[in-house]
Each structure stands twice: as structure tokens, then as C-alpha cells.
Amino acid sequence: MSPSRLVDNFLQQLQADGLIRSSERILVGLSGGSDSVALLYLLRAVAPSLPFTLVAAHLDHAMRPQSGDDVAFVRALCGRLNIPLHCERVDVPALAATKKVGLEEAGRLARQAFLSRIAAQSGCTAIALGHHRGDQAETILHHLARGCGLHGLACMRRRRGLFVRPLLTYSKAELLAYLKEIQAEFVVDASNDELNFTRNRIRHQFLPLFATLNPQIEATLGVLAAVAAHEDDYWQGEMVRLAALLVQKDGDTVSLSVAGLLLLHPAQRYRLLHLLLTPFARKAMKEVGFRHVSALDLFLASSVPQGEVHLPGVRALRRYDQLSLSPQSLLPIKPSIIPWSLEISGPGFYPLPSGGALRIEPGESLPGGGEEVVEFDAAALPFPWTVRRVQPGDRLRLAGMSGRKRLKELLMEQKIPLEERRRLYVLATDEILWVVGVRRSGLCFPRYGQGVWRVVYLPSNSSAAP
């Protein structure tokens, strides 16, 4: 395509797909390089025809000694074109160290946060980025090399949320030819040739190699990304509907049945997990990849009934059939069992630290009992007793057993989550009589028609003094 036709074609594409709407205020991400400068000139050329208003933003990454020259260049350029400009500086190497990500990833995260904030402050309804067809091809190969699912092949969209990429259908050569024709200057970043960055190696080594097999490799990969994007959009809608049926939300935590997840087709399960994990990762300025979803899927399919997996920005907690996802910022300090005990000297009302209580009263007959009511032979069980928290190594003598069962094993069989176990109480003398609200021992069963001590557990939502 000749440079003189590029502006007309650019306008036709914008009008055909409605990428930029009339009267919008557009923020242009302006690095000063050839791609962003070409984008700025093209948008400025077609702005009167749509029409829309332009604002520019430049982020200094503090990665090169010459970055100050880039700032001076974009200031001069926007001054000549009469386009408002916002400039800021972020220490990307320091951000990479803090977030424990690479420089490329830290730079991308910093740019997104900066541009989103400036767009909101300046009343912009879209953020235009200068990614072209070659960038799309590089991104696909980068995702494949890093490991991705089909979702990762969709790569960059022409519009996603606030971000628009009007140049995705154009090659780097076409943009350079356009800049040469209009005699526009731009900044050349020498770091783009440094092969210590993954994307640069893909650009300078792998894409040229693929081009020996297919000279149209960039266009071919662009078609693949477009097809994958259509597929991904369809699946996204399906997963939103599926999530509405299976997922429960409580504040910042979402939960769902492990059994329900495992009944899904693997393709559905992968995409649903990806959908649920992504918001947590984005809030933490991180990304969820194929390996993260696969790790969680393997964890859910294992025989481990309780455990947790830490993924980007999210803590995945399994408690038997329940999977809960919550932000890592809400990660609780691992609770320890705080020693507590209270002597039971006789009948009465005994408050518990949790807000519940035990009520102990004499009786003459057996009312039947239950999880919250137990009876003991009064003659065989004199006071004092003790109520206390569970302790490591506790054992319970069950009816029909000659020995004693480890309390940990019993609670696992009852499928009581770890967090709840630490809040349990036991009623004891020299042996445990009752795991309160869970299971009584085989000791001191009442005899029909004889006096009993009836012990009633009143949870915090029902406890009241008689």
C-alpha cells in the first residue's frame, strides 16, 4: 500500500468497524518511536472527518540515560501539533524488582496503569496504542514460547475496554514509508536491538527464520489471532453464563463446588478457572497463564482433600468439596491454637470465648440428645470437669473401641475444615468426654431411669442464660 493511500485506508477502517466513535476524546500512548508517532499523525489526519479530539501521554521508564531526550522530543512534537501532552517518570527496574517480574512485563504494567489513570483524569474515552501487524506476530510467538492455552492466541484486540489498536492491520514497513513521505522525525531506541530481551530475539531472529518458510508469516499469524479472538469472545460469554450458575460470591471471595468443576469438560473447566482467576491477577498487576490454570486443575483433581495453591494475586483454598478464591492481600496469618480452659464445677451456664456457651443441668430421663446435646451418667461422672480448646495429640475413646482414636483423624473423617478445627472445644476430665457439637466419647453413657447430667451447647447465635 502506497503511503499516500494509507490515510484514506486508515479512515475507511475506522469508519467500517467503529473503532473510534464520533466526538470521542482519544489518549495516544506516545513513546516517540516510529509506531506511536505514525499513529499520532494518522489520527490527527483523520480527526476532522470523524471527528474526535486528541490528547497524548508519555511515560519515561527510567531505563536509559537518553530517556530525558525522548521526553524533550515528544514535548516538542506535541507543541508543534498543538496536542496536549502528559508526561511522567516511573522507575521500571525498581517496579520489576518489587513485583518480581521481568523488565518487559513491569514496563507493560506500568504503562497500562499510567495510561488508564491519565485517561480518567483527562476525560478520554479511548486509549490508542501503536501496535502493528509485526507486534501481533511477535506476541503470538512470545505466548507460545512462554506456554499458553488457546486463549493466549487471541493476543491483542483492535479494541478491548478503553484500549484501541488502530494499526494492527499495517506492517512496520508501511508505517515507516508513511513517516518518510510526510518527513516526520521519530526517536530510535537502541535497546530495541538488544537481544537480551525476549521480544527482541523473536523480532530479529525467529520471525525472519519463519519468513523463509512463509514470506507472509506476519499476516498469517494475524489471521490466527483474529480467529482465536472470535473463538475466545464466544467462550467468554459461555463462561460468564456458566459462572452465574456455579459460582457464589462473598465480598472479594468466590467459591464453587470441586465436584461440580470436575464434572465439566476440560475445555470448560480451563476457561472457567481462567475467567475466575484473571480479576485477582489484574488487581495485583499480574497475569494468569496456562501453567497457573493447569496447576490449579491438577490440584483439584488430586486426592488431597484440603490444601491451598498460591497463584498470581490469588489464594486458592480447597476444603473438601469447596474451592474458594480470594486475593492474596487477604491472606490470613496462619492461626495457632490459643490455649484456653475453664473449670466446670457443677450445674450452670458457662460462656465460651467464641460467644457461645455450655449449659449443664441435672435430669432424670433420656431426652434423646443430638450434636448439640449430650447426657452422662451422673453417678459415674463427678465434678469438676474442664472445657478447653482442642490440642495437638488429643485422642477420643469411642463406643465399641478398645483404644482411642486420634482426634485429627476423626475430624478429617467428619470433613471439618482446618480453620473450624482450631475453634472447637472439648469437654474432659482425665479423658475427653465430648468434642463439643461434633462427637461424644463412649464413656459414662447414662442408664435408663437414672440421674444424668445433660450438657447443652448453645452456639453464639443462640446462647442465652437461663
User: Which pLDDT does position 328 carry in this prediction?
Assistant: 83
State yes or no: pLDDT of 52 exceeds 80: yes
User: Which pLDDT does position 361 carry in this prediction?
Assistant: 92
State yes or no: pLDDT of 250 exceeds 80: yes
Q: What are the domain boundaries of the chain?
A: 3-227, 247-330, 341-458
User: Which pLDDT does position 132 carry in this prediction?
Assistant: 96
Residue 332: pLDDT band by 50, 70, 90 thresholds?
low
State yes or no: pLDDT of 307 exceeds 90: no
Q: Average pLDDT in the 296-311 region? A: 88
CATH 3.50.50.60 fits 3-227, yes or no: no
Q: Where are the beta strands (DSSP E) in 25-94?
A: 25-29, 53-60, 85-89
Q: CB–CB of 277/149 below 8 Å?
A: no
Question: To the nearest 5 percent, what fractions of the chain are helix, strand and coil?
Answer: 45, 20, 35
Distances from the Cα of 135 to the Cαs of 63, 149, 199, 222, 429, in angstroms? 21, 19, 9, 10, 73
Q: How far is CA 49 from the centre of its chain?
A: 41
Please state, for a pLDDT cut of 70, what percent of the chain lies above it: 94
Distance between CA 339 and CA 261 in Å, rounded? 39
User: Which pLDDT does position 145 carry in this prediction?
Assistant: 87
User: Which pLDDT does position 369 carry in this prediction?
Assistant: 57
Q: Which of 16-20, 170-174, 243-247, 338-342 has the lowest mean pLDDT?
A: 338-342
169-175 contact pairs (CB < 8 A, 24+): 169/13, 169/133, 169/222, 170/1, 170/6, 170/132, 170/133, 171/132, 171/133, 171/134, 171/218, 172/34, 172/35, 172/132, 172/133, 172/134, 174/1, 174/3, 174/6, 175/34, 175/35, 175/38, 175/132
State yes or no: pLDDT of 314 exceeds 70: yes
In terms of pLDDT, which residue wins out, 21 or 119? 119
C-alpha cell at 404: 482411642
Distance between CA 3 and CA 174 in Å, rounded? 7
Average pLDDT, the chain: 89
User: Which pLDDT does position 98 carry in this prediction?
Assistant: 86
User: Residue 41's closest CA among 170, 225, 157?
Assistant: 170
pTM as predicted: 0.69
CATH 3.30.465.60 fits 247-330, yes or no: yes
State yes or no: pLDDT of 325 exceeds 50: yes
State yes or no: pLDDT of 418 exceeds 70: yes
Could you read off the pLDDT of 19-42 as tens digits, one per residue? Answer: 998 889 999 999 999 999 999 999
Q: Where are the beta strands (DSSP E) in 157-271?
A: 159-160, 163-164, 248-250, 253-257
State yes or no: pLDDT of 51 exceeds 70: yes
User: Which pLDDT does position 336 carry in this prediction?
Assistant: 53
Could you read off the pLDDT of 281-297 as tens digits, one per residue? Answer: 888 767 788 889 999 99
Residue 330: pLDDT band by 50, 70, 90 thresholds?
low
User: Which pLDDT does position 101 carry in this prediction?
Assistant: 79
State yes or no: pLDDT of 59 exceeds 60: yes
User: Which pLDDT does position 173 carry in this prediction?
Assistant: 93
User: Which pLDDT does position 421 carry in this prediction?
Assistant: 81
State yes or no: pLDDT of 137 exceeds 70: yes
Do 247-330 and 3-227 fall under one CATH topology? Answer: no
Q: CB–CB of 178/39 below 8 Å?
A: no
Distance between CA 223 and CA 208 in Å, rounded? 18
The DSSP secondary structure of 378-392, one letter per residue, reads TTT-PSPEEEEE--T
In terms of pLDDT, which residue wins out, 61 or 304? 61
> Edge-to-edge, what's the strand order for the sheet holding 425-428?
341-344, 385-389, 425-428, 432-435, 439-440
Residue 333: pLDDT band by 50, 70, 90 thresholds?
very low
Phi, psi of 145 (to 5 degrees): -65, -35
Q: Which of 28-32, 270-274, 407-411 has the lowest mean pLDDT?
A: 407-411
Dihedral sign for Cα atoms in the order 265, 270, 273, 276: negative
Q: Average pLDDT in the 355-378 region? A: 80
User: Which pLDDT does position 463 carry in this prediction?
Assistant: 44
User: Which pLDDT does position 139 carry in this prediction?
Assistant: 93
Place of cell 478520554: 124
Residue 462: pLDDT band by 50, 70, 90 thresholds?
low
DSSP designation for 89: E
- Cα first-last separation, the chain: 90
Longest dimension (CA), the chain: 107
Distances from the Cα of 463 to the Cαs of 351, 428, 456, in angstroms? 9, 21, 10
Q: Average pLDDT in the 190-195 region? A: 78
In terms of pLDDT, which residue wins out, 114 or 97? 114
